[in-house]
Amino acid sequence: MSAPVQEILVVDDDELWLILLARALGRAHLRVSTFQSAERALEVFTRAPRRFCAVMVDQGMPEMTGIELLGRMRELNPELRTIVHTANPRDPAVRAAFVDLVIPKETEQAALLASLFKLLESGGPSTGPG
Question: Is residue 2 one of the residues assigned to a domain?
Answer: no
Q: How far is CA 41 from CA 3, 114, 122, in A?
A: 26, 24, 25
Question: Is residue 127 one of the residues assigned to a domain?
Answer: no
Question: Is residue 62 one of the residues assigned to a domain?
Answer: yes
Task: Give the burial class of 113: count Cβ atoms within 10 A of its Cβ; 0-12 exposed, 13-18 middle, 19 or more buried.
Answer: middle
129 in Cβ contact with 90 (< 8 Å): no
For 28, the domain range is 7-121
Closest CA to 67 of 97, 39, 46: 97
Question: Is residue 35 one of the residues assigned to a domain?
Answer: yes
Q: What's the CATH number where 87 sits?
A: 3.40.50.2300
Estimate to the nearest angstrom the gap between the alpha carbon of 24 and the chain centroid.
14
Question: Is residue 128 one of the residues assigned to a domain?
Answer: no
How far is the C-alpha of 94 from the C-alpha of 50, rounded, in Å? Answer: 24
pLDDT in tens, 41-53: 999 999 999 999 9
Assign 126 a pLDDT band (cuts: 50, 70, 90): very low
Provide the residue type at 110 as one letter.
Answer: A
Question: What's the number of domains the chain is made of?
Answer: 1
pLDDT in tens, 55-82: 999 999 988 999 999 999 999 999 999 9
Question: Is residue 36 one of the residues assigned to a domain?
Answer: yes
pLDDT in tens, 12-43: 999 999 999 999 988 888 899 999 999 999 99
The model carries a pTM of 0.86
Question: Is residue 126 one of the residues assigned to a domain?
Answer: no
